[in-house]
């Protein structure tokens, strides 16, 4: 435990697997980690999988997450999913602001802030993703970008609401590329994020907030990354699509 912060590993399946494949993957994870202790574990599945995967992991230690959510409660928003739609399906967490939403679909900091608020208003926990591009890092804008993303999403939240926010630091250049930030670079970014949270709220809030790392996390680098003082877990993409690969990450921190 890092200053009483529990390690939290979440798998983000993105737009992968059929429902049948997803159920099989969930069953494999349930068999191995249905009663896991010492590490919080969640899977963020496609919307089409939520009901069936939810049935598999119901009553286990594995939590169910959605990958996105519209900021509006209801209305003429074709193709979108609202909190009301997720409310009674067993969803506990919602990922907001993933780099693919920001950079492929053009979600702004303002939109992401509205989504964070909607997620919290609905009673869910929020996994807020932030991170810089390689160009931003190389031009010395890392801290400016992270500060803006954190402040725009969290300013205005109450101290009760911030308790239901998890931050996932995902350098855009490391997502799905096989590249991973060094332990030192990742730790420095996490430390800066925690300082920014402290500036918005206070040090006690900052020391309690969970900050995950994401970006080509695998079994060979997870133990090193997650041993850093300010890295409290991982948001895992591709490696979460295989029980064997995902297990390698989980086992590396509970062994």
Active site amino acids: 98, 170
- CA distance linking residue 168 with residue 111, whole number of Å: 18
Residue 212: strand, helix, or coil: strand
Task: Give the side-chain half-sphere CA count within 13 A for 27.
Answer: 7
CB 44 within 8 A of CB 12: yes
Tell me the chain's radius of gyration from C-alpha atoms: 17
For the chain, how many helices (H) and strands (E)?
12, 8
Tokens of 57: 């992991």
Alpha helices in the chain (DSSP H): 19-33, 50-57, 83-87, 99-103, 109-121, 134-138, 142-154, 159-162, 183-200, 203-208, 222-226, 243-254
CB 131 within 8 A of CB 112: no
- CA distance linking residue 253 with residue 219, whole number of Å: 10
The region, left, alpha or beta by phi > 0 then psi within -120 to 50, assigned to residue 142 is alpha
At 5, phi and psi to the nearest 5?
A: -95, 130
- CA distance linking residue 103 with residue 254, whole number of Å: 34
């Amino acid at each position: 435990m890092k200053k009483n912060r529990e390690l939290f590993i979440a798998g983000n399946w993105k737009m992968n697997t059929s429902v049948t494949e997803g159920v099989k993957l969930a069953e494999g994870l349930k068999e191995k980690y249905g009663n896991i202790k010492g590490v919080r574990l969640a899977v963020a599945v496609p919307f089409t999988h939520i009901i069936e995967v939810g049935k598999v992991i119901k009553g286990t230690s594995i939590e169910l997450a959605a990958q996105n959510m519209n900021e509006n409660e209801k209305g003429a928003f074709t193709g979108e999913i609202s909190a009301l739609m997720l409310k009674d399906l067993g969803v506990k967490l919602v990922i907001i602001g993933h780099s693919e939403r920001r950079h492929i679909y053009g979600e702004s900091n303002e939109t992401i802030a509205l989504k964070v608020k909607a997620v919290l208003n609905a009673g869910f926990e929020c996994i807020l993703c932030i991170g810089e591009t390689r160009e931003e890092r190389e031009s010395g804008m890392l801290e400016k970008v992270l500060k803006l993303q954190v402040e725009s999403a969290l300013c205005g939240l109450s101290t009760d609401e911030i308790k239901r926010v998890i931050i996932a630091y995902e350098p855009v250049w490391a997502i799905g590329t096989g590249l991973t930030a060094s332990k030192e670079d990742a730790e420095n970014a996490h430390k800066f994020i925690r300082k920014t949270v402290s500036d918005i709220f206070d040090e006690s809030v900052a020391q309690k907030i969970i900050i995950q790392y994401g970006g080509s996390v695998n079994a060979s680098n997870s133990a090193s990354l997650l041993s850093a003082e300010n890295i409290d877990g991982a948001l895992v993409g591709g490696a979460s699509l295989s029980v064997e690969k995902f297990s390698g990450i989980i086992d590396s921190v509970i062994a």
